[in-house]
Amino acid sequence: MSRFTHFLAVDWSGAKGARQKGIALALAKAAGGAPVLLPPPDPKGWARSEVLAVLLDLPGATLVGLDLGIGLPFADAGAFFPGWDASPADARSLWALIDGLCVGYPHLESGGFVTHPEAARYFRHGKDATGDRFLLPDAPSREGRFRVAETAQRSQGVRPVSNFNLVGAAQVGKSSLTGMRMLHRLGGKVPVWPIDPLPESGSVVTEIYTSVAARLGGITGAATKVRSIEVLNDVLDALGSPPVTGNGAIDDHSSDALLTAAWLRHVHSQRDLWHPPSLTPDVARTEGWTFGAF
C-alpha cells in the first residue's frame, strides 16, 4: 500500500501578473478515482501565493509534483554562476539569493533577479540579447547549460530547454525562477526531494516534467501536449486511471496537471525512480532532480 494518500500535480507559470491562467492544479487520491482539477479561488486564475498556501496545507501525506526546475546547472562548471563571487553553494542558498534580489517585485515575479547586473550575464533574454556568460567556454552547443537531470531527460526522448534561457514558448527559465521564490517561502515546512532526503512519512514536494509523464502515458512524436478529453482519457487509461468526464477540447495546462497527477499515483512506488544512477549527493544538494528522469 502506498504511504501517500494524495498526488498533487502543479502546472506552473512564470508570467507576469497577479493571476495566471497558465497555472493548473490536479489531485489524484491513492484510494482511486479519476484525477480532479482544483478550482482557483478566483475565476481569473491562480495566484502563485495561493499555490504556496496549498502547499502549506496539504491533505494527508501528499506527493506534490511541480512542473518547474528546482535548481540551475551546477555540475558542469562547479558553480551556478562561475565567475561571480556571490554564486551560492547549494540549491537552498540559490532560492534565497533569487528571492532576496526580487524584493519589491510582486506576485513572486523574477524580474529583480534576471535584471541584476551580474545575474543577467548568465541568461538569454531575447533574440538579440544574450548574456556574455550564458555559454561556458568551449560549450558543445548554443542551447545553453543543462543540469544532470535534463541530460537524463533527453535520453528519454524529450527536449528540455536550459533554465538559463528566458526566450520562446518552450522556455522554462521564468517558471523555474518564480518557482524557486515560492520554494524559499515554503521555508522547509515540506521536504523538497532530493534537496531534502525522502522522509519515511508525510508530504513531499518533487520536480516533474509533464512531457516525461506524457511519454510514459503513451504519447509519442515531437509534441506531448494533450488538447482533447478523448486523448486525455486514453492516456489516463494507460496510467491505470479512470477517465475524466466530458468530451471535446481541454486546455493543455489542465490536461498536463490531470495526467501528471495520475502518473505520479501510477509510478511513485517504483523504487528505481527515487534512485536514478546519476543522482549523486552533490547533484541532489545543488541541482536537484526531476522525478521520473532516469
- Residue percentage of the chain with pLDDT more than 70: 99
> Is the residue at 218 inside a domain?
yes
pTM, to two decimals = 0.96
DSSP 116-157: STTGGGGSEEETTEE-TTSS-TT-SSSS----HHHHHHHHTT
Q: Is residue 197 located within the same domain as residue 238?
A: yes
Pair 208, 151 in one domain = no
Secondary structure E strands in 140-214 = 204-207
Q: How confident is the model at residue 169 (pLDDT cuts 50, 70, 90)?
A: confident
In a domain, 80, yes or no: no
Distance CA 225, CA 53 (A): 28
Look-up: residue for cell 556568460? 133
Render pLDDT for 136-157 as a digit per residue (tens, 0 to 9). 999 988 999 999 999 999 988 8
Task: Report the domain count for the chain.
Answer: 2
Query: What pLDDT is recorded for position 188?
Result: 96
**pLDDT for the residue 222:** 63
If asked whether residues 177 and 199 sit together in one domain, one would say no
In contact, 156 and 213? CB cutoff 8 Å: no
Which amino acid does the sequence have at 247? N
Domain ends where: 184, 202, 220?
Answer: 184
For 173, the enclosing helix (H) or strand (E) is: helix 173-186
- What's residue 223's pLDDT? 67
Q: Are residues 220 and 247 in the same domain?
A: yes
Is residue 81 situated within a structural domain? no
- Which range has the worst mean pLDDT, 19-23, 116-120, 234-238, 283-287? 234-238
Q: CA angle at residue 123 from 109 to 286, to 5 degrees?
A: 80
Query: Order of strands, edge to edge, in the sheet holding 6-11?
Result: 36-37, 24-29, 6-11, 62-67, 204-207
**What pLDDT, on a 0 to 100 scale, did the predictor assign at position 170?**
85
Give domain status of residue 294, yes or no: no
- The share of the chain scoring above pLDDT 90, in percent, equals 90
Query: Is 80 exceeded by the pLDDT of residue 217?
Result: no
Report, as an integer, the average pLDDT of 29-49. 98
Q: Which of 232, 234, 238, 231 is CA-nearest to residue 266?
A: 238
Q: Are residues 195 and 174 in the same domain?
A: no
Q: What grid cell was written down for 229? A: 478529453
Q: Is the pLDDT assigned to residue 82 strictly greater than 90?
A: yes
Q: How far apart are the first and last CA of the chain?
A: 24
Domain residue limits at 262: 6-70+191-274
Residue pLDDT, tens place only, 190-206: 999 999 999 999 999 99
pLDDT band for position 215 (cuts 50, 70, 90): confident
**For range 46-65, the mean pLDDT:** 98
Q: Residue range 54-69: average pLDDT?
A: 97
5 burial via Cβ count (<10 Å: 0-12, 13-18, 19+): middle
Whether residues 100 and 180 fall in one domain: yes
Query: Cα–chain-centroid distance for residue 61?
Result: 20
The pLDDT of residue 1 is above 50:
no
Tell whether 112 and 128 lie within a shared domain: yes
63: CATH: 3.30.420
Question: Hunting for cell 520562446 — which residue is that?
Answer: 168
Mean residue pLDDT across the chain: 95
